[in-house]
Structure 1
């Protein structure tokens, strides 16, 4: 969260295209932020070439639409299904097209997303993109806020900007401090 993943994806696309190479930019449809665009925090945006449906076979789609594609770029890869990550690996192995995925490792409860977990299991290389917490330490977790208040319950997937939901990158110290305060408040409300 807030590490510049989408900005780097857009730069990567530019680098390929500047050299006359075609890229295919895809993202899971469940990521409704930006609709059929990928949007970076610094204001850059670009229309995606394909929105991936849940249950869709990505390998089949790419095989049928790979005319001259030199690289596949995937935004918000954490929202992929595990089998779709396997299908992307088949794109690399069988079609010989590099696939670069950008996404989060864990959700706001520090649990892995199915797509991210599978990527961590089978990716050729993994590059961590770093960002910082408001306290200045390295951020490792994502805090979910509703109406400006941190919460630690709810559905795994809730898109930033919907229903007054925002996210904040947190270091472990701040994350667990906020979690502890949240639990204490919840306990007080039960009494």
Structure 2
């Protein structure tokens, strides 16, 4: 009996570690995941803001808002995740959050061009959020980092496509805002 309980406990620890690793290193896919990765899990309002949430997450999220080669136009299939970010930022929990949108490119082309293109990508997402969700411009800063911070290797076409993206970083300064924890089992349906 003890060995069965020990095995079950070890299995649960392994699952929890895998889920945390996937969330930290992977892409968010809905507004609840975006909020949790940017603000933390919602255990206590005082720990939610800043670059480290209560679970030790980094206060940043990689979104599958990807772009075609040499383009700053958001791909149609990326609109649901852009909408999830807008919903997260206009939700009760995220309405006081400020973010930095960091645009990225793959490694093709020269550095100066890639830096300019990555800034255009971040501005494109900001423009979309402002026009569709009426988010205040002051809450969304933008930065282009070009090819300098790849998410994956640029050695394959799939890797290069993944690196043409926008990253979101929580830049909220206030720690005194009362942020309610998310409701259990809430999902966004498209």
TM-score w.r.t. the length of structure 1 is: 0.31
**TM-score, scaled relative to structure 2:** 0.31
Q: Counting strand residues as a fraction of each chain, which structure ranks higher?
A: 1
